[in-house]
Amino acid sequence: MSPGLAIVGTRLAERELVLTPDQPLGIQAVANVALAPLVQAMQGGDLGEAKALLAGAGASAGALRQWWHAHPDWPALPGPVTGASHASDSPTAAAFAVSPAASASQ
């Protein structure tokens, strides 16, 4: 994760961004759900916190799960997921491990 600028509504705002190999400039949210807290919970192995964040997302959790599931190299989210399983069930998989320095070179 790295602080950066994200479009929030119609304005730029500083937010915690999730950097991935396919999104080196960062992702702030999917379906209006902030990704950084969820990724931090998954990386830390805190599946209870990840479940709570998904539960708090309400109806947006389904869209977030669908988007997340489109990345089969990412660790599986806790709770019910339909479709094929992910490459790893480990919450500590390094799929998100992108150096903040990568965004500085952009």
4, 63, 80, 84 from 76: Cα distances, Å:
26, 15, 10, 10
Structure confidence at residue 95 (pLDDT): 52
Nearest Cα neighbor of 61 from 99, 22, 31 is: 31
Q: How far apart are CA 39 and CA 43, in angstroms?
A: 6
pLDDT digits (tens, 9 = 90+) for 42-87: 989 999 999 999 999 999 999 999 988 888 888 888 875 444 444 4
Q: Which two tokens stand for residue 67?
A: 């988007």
User: Would residue 58 be called left, alpha or beta, if left means φ above 0 and alpha means ψ between -120 and 50 degrees?
Assistant: left
Residue whose tokens read 């190299």: 73
Backbone angles phi, psi at 67, to 5 degrees: -65, -45
pTM of the entire predicted model: 0.69
